[in-house]
């Protein structure tokens, strides 16, 4: 059987297709009889109902909350759950934050993951100070929240909120990656409530 002689489906013969094309040209000719106006006038006339107006805050917060870049800082055990959260299984990139920045200057979020000792505290504060505004802090794990298991130790800071202001606390020892993701969603909600026009309250 030769390919050229295959029967065509109904309505798709060469004649039919030509006819359809001709009809299309005819109808367009009928439709476009008047010259199109200068686009300026057209946009002004339709502008009143074709633009969405919202608050600047909502737009800025939407953008900010959808691309929170964490700083690539790990203190102790919880750091591995943070990396787990970033790995393909839990996939932190669903929230637009897969880019862990090694430099704090390019980051928006500091996840304090693990026990903070007094020896490390100046460095953590320095990382926080180097981050540019707006910036947020998540205290991950009970050590970061309150010192946890090591609260009574001579070398441990009992709660990182003594050193940096904390926005969201994620409990657990260590919190599972799901818990961290939940904490991150809480942070997103928090960001959406903020107002850029008013100065952000310093902790």
Q: Which residue ranges make up the site for another protein (CB under 8 A)?
A: 72-77, 79-81, 83-84, 87-89, 102, 114-115, 117-120, 123-124, 127, 149-150, 152-156, 173-174, 176
Closer residue to another protein in complex, CB, 61/113: 113
Q: Does the bond joining 174 to the residue before it have cis omega, within 30 degrees of 0?
A: yes
Give the tokens for residue 137: 């802090």
Nearer to another protein, 56 or 149 (CB): 149
| Least distance between another protein and beta carbon 74 (Å) | 6
Helices (runs of H) and strands (runs of E) counted in the chain: 7, 3
As measured in angstroms, the least distance from the Cβ of 124 to another protein is 8
Q: Is 191 in contact with 168 (CB distance < 8 Å)?
A: no
Longest dimension (CA), the chain: 92
Q: Which is nearer to another protein, 69 or 80 (CB)?
A: 80
- Report which DSSP code applies to 67: -
CB of 162 to another protein, least distance (A): 16
> Residue 84: which of 155, 172, 3 has the closest Cα?
172
Question: CA-to-CA distance for 126 and 71, rounded, in angstroms?
Answer: 13
114 vs 159, which CB is nearer to another protein? 114
């Amino acid at each position: 059987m030769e390919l050229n002689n295959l029967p065509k489906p109904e309505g798709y013969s060469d004649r039919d297709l030509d006819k359809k094309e001709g009809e299309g040209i005819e109808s367009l000719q009928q439709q476009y009889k008047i010259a199109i106006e200068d686009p300026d006038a057209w946009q002004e006339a339709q502008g009143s109902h074709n633009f969405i107006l919202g608050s600047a805050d909502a737009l800025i917060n939407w953008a900010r909350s959808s691309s929170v870049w964490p700083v690539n800082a790990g203190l102790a055990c919880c750091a591995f759950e943070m990396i787990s959260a970033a790995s393909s299984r839990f996939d932190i990139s669903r929230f637009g934050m897969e880019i862990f920045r090694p430099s704090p200057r390019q980051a928006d979020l500091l996840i304090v993951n693990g026990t903070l000792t007094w020896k490390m505290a100046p460095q953590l504060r320095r990382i926080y100070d180097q981050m540019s505004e707006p910036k947020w802090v998540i205290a991950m794990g009970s050590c970061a929240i309150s010192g946890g298991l090591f609260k009574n130790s001579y070398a441990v800071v009992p709660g990182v909120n003594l050193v940096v202001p904390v926005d969201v606390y994620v409990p657990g020892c260590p919190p599972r990656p799901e818990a961290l993701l939940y904490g991150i969603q809480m942070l997103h909600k928090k960001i959406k409530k903020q107002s850029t026009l008013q100065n952000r309250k310093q902790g």
